[in-house]
């Protein structure tokens, strides 16, 4: 892009008199991005996540070896072995390649949960908040019941009922993750519900469905996004925990939690087998936490000081 | 108490009625929550791909034996009746028999629970002892190196998989340095020396006056408790900091400072005093979280607590044990939540 067009784009984004809804929306995104860019920790988080996305997208091209290829004559080789930078595991598989391929599984789980849980929470919360009455009472009671359960134990019980596997782990984590979103969405809805513009829309003849989807949802999104980003780390840790317990992704899948579980048996003699996947989990969830903190400062300035 | 002075005259004339109504409401909501909790576990138990009859009679039982047990378990009745039986049993402390060792699940839970309690309690004590001062100092010296340190401590705590941290702890402090005891609660020579009273070995050995057992138990407990304590510390220090910041920006603090009160008194006698209730709530929540967080930690440290119990039962498809354990942990979770709610209601005049 030449400097001229980028200047033009900047002016278009920062104009105080946008000509379309699209331009206004893009402009506010750009403003947010400018604030976020001033936060070095958040940018560091974004950098890690972009790297992770690239790793996952081009895993077969980047990984030096096949993540499933066993080589029993080369088992448990330490870090820095020629051809195996991060060593090999108990079946002689290259740990680096497994980590790179494992990033796909992590992203897959996070993406699915981050879609399912907030959408379910948004539905329940807005309907509950807007309709009120006994609908509100029932839905909020259900939410409270799910909140009352310890999350990991509930996920364990669900996986026990559904059977082990990635999809069931996703379902179990989502089932335990939606209630906070419902609470947030309901609280937002309650503040929006009685505002003048909603009454205006209602007087124009809009039904509850239209009001909720077109006028309430858009306003709930930003607080949900912050919450999702801050939750991502927890989702990764929960998924890794289920994998570690043997209830998530099944072997020989290179899921990071399952890799730690495999390496656990050799922890005292061959420490790197369990250490490396743990470092990967730590790095990625740290990145999500840093980004989440930064986003909260941009989208939710009232909590920014905390 | 200072709080009593804040309540106005109007409240003092009729303080009891709203309190009773509030309590009734709380009890009602606990009952509904517990009912829901039991309903969820009941449903989980029903959709399990395991046939409870086959699990008891075995695969080679005759059709008539199968039918007999089927009716004994009440499986021929409508679901709502089955739920009723389940409720009845649970209310009488009966979670059924464990399929694995053919003993009542409730006995098993009573046996393993003290181990978890010991772990989580010591962890919480560590988290509070370090987390509260760290949070207060971080708020008072906002932006200083200690504030940065508190931030990093919390961030790392929120980002690190607990089971991995436990493994690394074992590797370094047990494997390399040899400072602590390894997995398990006691070395094999020390097992079954001290009579079981509370089930918490530190307390039992202290009662028996056997300090060598105490020392050994402590060397095993200290690492997993520190790991749990670190997570509690991360959460508590962060919350303490934000509560304190809120208080320190209030006008009464400025007034106290203008009056010439020493900074120490301003912080501890004024600001800190006002966050005590919030803090206790947070500590109760963190305690509940530790009971749950101990699931993974217990696996790593071969700690025979409720987390290990549920997981072992899960992997061997012992459904009564899984559900019994889940209900127990859920119940404690609910009670701790209610407890912190109640504290708020009693001590915070604004919540009335």
- Cα–Cα distance for residue pair A230/A111, rounded to 1 Å: 14
Q: Taking CA atoms, what residue in B is nearest to A247? A: B315
Chain B nearest-CA distance from A69, in A, is 25
pLDDT digits (tens, 9 = 90+) for B146-160: 999 999 999 999 899
- The domains located in chain A, with CATH, are 94-306 (1.10.3720.10)
Contact B322 A160 (CB under 8 A): yes
- Grouping H, G, I as helix, E, B as strand and the rest as coil, residue B91 is helix
**With a CB-CB cutoff of 8 Å, which residues 317-336 of chain B face chain A?**
317, 319, 322-323, 325-326, 329-330, 333-334
Class of domain B106-351: mainly alpha
pLDDT score of B94: 84
Provide, as residue numbers in chain A, all residues whose Cβ is less than 8 Å from the Cβ of B295: 152-153, 156
**Which tokens in the block code for residue A36?**
């976020």
Contact A152 B292 (CB under 8 A): yes
Nearest to A282 among B160, B175, B319 (CB): B160
Nearest to B47 among A148, A161, A260 (CB): A161
- Cα–Cα distance for residue pair B341/B332, rounded to 1 Å: 14
Contact A145 B319 (CB under 8 A): no
pLDDT score of B2: 41
Mutate to test the interface with B, among A140, A143, A161, A178 (most CBs of B within 10 A): A161
**Nearest one of A90, A36, A296, A298 to A306, comparing CA atoms:** A296
**Nearest one of A96, A87, A91 to A59, comparing CA atoms:** A96
- Cα–Cα distance for residue pair B274/B338, rounded to 1 Å: 21
Distances in Å between the alpha carbon of A230 and those of A53, A209, A237? Answer: 18, 29, 12
Q: Looking at the complex, does the CB of residue B37 fall below 8 Å from at least one CB of chain A?
A: yes
Nearest to B333 among A150, A260, A267 (CB): A150
User: Counting one residue from A and one from B, how many pairs have CB atoms under 8 Å apart?
Assistant: 140
Mutate to test the interface with B, among A152, A250, A270, A294 (most CBs of B within 10 A): A152
Q: Looking at the complex, does the CB of residue A302 fall below 8 Å from at least one CB of chain B?
A: no
Mutate to test the interface with A, among B52, B161, B166, B337 (most CBs of A within 10 A): B161
Note whether B131 and B236 are within 8 A (CB): yes
- Cα–Cα distance for residue pair B213/B190, rounded to 1 Å: 6
Contact B161 A275 (CB under 8 A): no
Nearest to B326 among A153, A244, A247 (CB): A153
Q: Looking at the complex, does the CB of residue B285 fall below 8 Å from at least one CB of chain A?
A: no
**With a CB-CB cutoff of 8 Å, which residues 266-295 of chain A face chain B?**
267-268, 271, 274-275, 278, 281-282, 285-286, 288-290
Provide, as residue numbers in chain A, all residues whose Cβ is less than 8 Å from the Cβ of B162: 237, 241
Domain boundaries, chain B: 2-91, 106-351
Is the pLDDT at B7 greater than 50? The verdict is no
Chain B nearest-CA distance from A268, in A, is 6
Farthest-apart Cα atoms in chain A, separation: 77
**Which tokens in the block code for residue A155?**
């996920």
Distances in Å between the alpha carbon of B228 and those of B110, B131, B202, B232? Answer: 22, 13, 17, 6
**Nearest one of B299, B284, B278, B291 to B351, comparing CA atoms:** B278
pLDDT digits (tens, 9 = 90+) for B82-116: 888 888 888 888 888 887 777 888 999 999 999 99
Q: Looking at the complex, does the CB of residue B74 fall below 8 Å from at least one CB of chain A?
A: no
- Cα–Cα distance for residue pair B345/A233, rounded to 1 Å: 33
pLDDT digits (tens, 9 = 90+) for B312-335: 888 777 888 888 888 888 888 888
Residue B285's Cβ-count burial label (10 Å; 0-12, 13-18, 19+) is middle
**Which tokens in the block code for residue B79?**
């679901």
Residue listed under structure tokens 């900047």: A10
Contact A153 B292 (CB under 8 A): yes
Residue listed under structure tokens 């009001």: A211
Residue B2, CB-side half-sphere exposure with 13 Å CA sphere = 7
B248-270 as b/e: b if 16+ CB within 10 A: beeeebeebeeeeeeeeebbeeb
**Which tokens in the block code for residue A105?**
């599984």
Q: Taking CA atoms, what residue in B is nearest to A260? A: B164
Would you tell me how many other CB atoms lie within 10 Å of the CB of residue A198? 17
List B276's β-bridge partners, or say none.
Answer: none
Provide, as residue numbers in chain B, all residues whose Cβ is less than 8 Å from the Cβ of A240: 161
Contact B323 A157 (CB under 8 A): yes
Residue A150: CB partners within 8 Å, gap ≥ 6? B288, B289, B291, B292, B329, B330, B333
pLDDT digits (tens, 9 = 90+) for B257-280: 888 888 888 888 888 888 888 888
pLDDT score of B5: 42
**With a CB-CB cutoff of 8 Å, which residues 131-160 of chain B face chain A?**
155-156, 158-160
Residue listed under structure tokens 């932006």: B143
Contact B36 A161 (CB under 8 A): no
Q: Does pTM surpass 0.80? A: yes
Residue B319, CB-side half-sphere exposure with 13 Å CA sphere = 22
Rounded percentage of chain B residues whose pLDDT exceeds 90: 20
- Cα–Cα distance for residue pair B219/B185, rounded to 1 Å: 9
Note whether B116 and B294 are within 8 A (CB): yes
Q: Taking CA atoms, what residue in B is nearest to A237? A: B161
pLDDT digits (tens, 9 = 90+) for B300-309: 998 999 988 9
Q: Residue B104 phi/psi, 5° resolution?
A: -60, 135
Provide, as residue numbers in chain A, all residues whose Cβ is less than 8 Å from the Cβ of B168: 275, 278
Note whether A199 and A206 are within 8 A (CB): no
Contact B292 A245 (CB under 8 A): no
Distances in Å between the alpha carbon of B303 and those of A301, B255, B320? Answer: 44, 52, 21
Contact A241 B161 (CB under 8 A): yes
Walk along chain A (306 residues) and give the pLDDT tens digit of each residue: 456 677 888 888 888 888 888 888 888 888 888 888 888 888 999 999 999 999 999 988 888 888 888 888 878 888 877 778 888 888 888 889 999 999 999 999 999 999 999 999 999 999 999 988 889 888 988 888 888 777 788 888 888 778 888 898 999 899 889 999 998 899 889 888 888 888 898 899 888 888 888 888 888 888 888 788 888 888 999 999 989 988 888 888 899 999 999 888 888 888 888 899 999 999 999 999 999 888 887 776 554 443
Q: Taking CA atoms, what residue in B is nearest to A145? A: B33
For residue A225, the Cα-to-chain-centroid distance in whole angstroms is 10
Mean confidence (pLDDT) of chain B? 83
């Amino acid at each position: 892009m030449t400097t001229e067009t980028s200047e033009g784009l900047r002016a278009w984004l920062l104009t105080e008199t946008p000509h379309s809804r699209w331009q206004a929306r893009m402009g506010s995104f750009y403003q947010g991005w400018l604030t976020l860019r001033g936060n070095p920790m958040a940018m560091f988080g974004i950098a890690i996540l972009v790297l992770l996305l690239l790793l996952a997208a081009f895993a077969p091209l980047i990984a030096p070896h096949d993540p499933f290829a066993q080589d029993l004559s080369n088992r448990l080789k330490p870090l820095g072995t020629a051809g195996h930078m991060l060593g090999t595991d108990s079946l002689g598989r290259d740990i680096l390649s497994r980590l790179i391929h494992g990033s796909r599984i992590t992203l897959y789980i996070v993406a699915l949960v981050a879609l399912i849980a907030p959408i379910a929470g948004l539905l329940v919360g807005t309907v509950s908040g807007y309709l009120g009455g006994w609908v509100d009472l029932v839905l909020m009671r259900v939410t409270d019941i799910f909140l009352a359960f310890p999350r990991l134990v509930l996920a364990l019980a669900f996986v026990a009922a559904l059977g082990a596997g990635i999809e069931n782990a996703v379902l179990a984590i989502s089932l335990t993750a939606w209630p906070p979103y419902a609470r947030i969405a309901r609280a937002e809805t309650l503040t929006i519900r009685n505002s003048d513009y909603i009454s205006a829309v209602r007087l124009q003849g809009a039904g509850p469905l239209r009001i909720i989807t077109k006028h309430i949802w858009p306003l709930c999104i930003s607080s949900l996004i912050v919450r999702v980003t801050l939750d991502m780390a927890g989702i990764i840790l929960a998924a890794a925990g289920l994998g570690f317990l043997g209830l998530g992704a099944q072997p020989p899948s290179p899921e990071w939690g399952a890799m730690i579980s495999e390496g656990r048996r050799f922890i005292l003699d061959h420490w790197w087998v369990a250490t490396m996947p743990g470092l990967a989990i730590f790095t990625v969830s740290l990145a999500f936490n840093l980004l989440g903190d930064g986003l909260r400062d941009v989208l939710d300035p009232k909590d920014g000081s905390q | 108490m200072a709080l009593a002075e804040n309540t106005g005259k109007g409240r003092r004339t009729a303080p009891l009625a709203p309190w009773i109504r509030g309590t009734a409401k709380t009890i009602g909501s606990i009952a509904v929550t517990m009912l829901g909790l039991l309903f969820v576990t009941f449903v989980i138990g029903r959709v399990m791909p395991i046939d409870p009859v086959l699990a008891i009679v075995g695969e080679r039982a005759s059709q008539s034996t199968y039918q007999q047990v089927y009716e004994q378990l009440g499986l021929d009745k409508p679901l709502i009746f089955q739920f009723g039986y389940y409720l009845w049993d649970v209310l009488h402390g009966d979670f059924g028999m464990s399929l694995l060792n053919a003993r009542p699940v409730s006995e098993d839970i009573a046996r393993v629970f003290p181990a978890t309690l010991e772990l989580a309690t010591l962890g919480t004590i560590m988290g509070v002892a370090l987390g509260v001062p760290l949070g207060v100092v971080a708020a008072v010296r906002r932006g200083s190196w200690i504030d940065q340190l508190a931030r990093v401590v919390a961030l790392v705590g929120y980002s690190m998989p607990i089971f991995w941290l436990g493994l690394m702890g074992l590797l370094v402090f047990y494997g390399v340095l040899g400072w602590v005891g390894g997995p398990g609660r006691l070395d094999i020579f020390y097992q079954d020396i001290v009579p079981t009273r509370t089930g918490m070995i530190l307390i039992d050995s202290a009662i028996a006056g056997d300090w060598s057992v105490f020392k050994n138990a402590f060397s095993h407990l200290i690492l997993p408790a520190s790991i749990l304590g670190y997570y509690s510390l991360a959460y508590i220090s962060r919350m303490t900091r934000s509560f304190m910041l809120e208080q320190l920006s209030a006008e009464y603090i400025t007034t106290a400072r203008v009056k010439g009160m020493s900074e120490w008194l301003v912080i501890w006698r004024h600001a800190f005093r006002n966050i005590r209730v919030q803090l206790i709530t947070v500590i109760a929540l963190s305690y509940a979280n530790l009971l749950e967080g101990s699931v993974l930690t217990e696996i790593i440290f071969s700690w025979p607590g409720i987390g290990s119990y549920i997981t072992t039962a899960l992997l061997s498809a012992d459904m009564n044990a899984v559900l019994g354990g889940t209900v127990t942990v859920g119940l404690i979770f609910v009670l701790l939540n209610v407890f912190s709610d109640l504290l708020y209601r009693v001590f915070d005049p604004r919540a009335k």
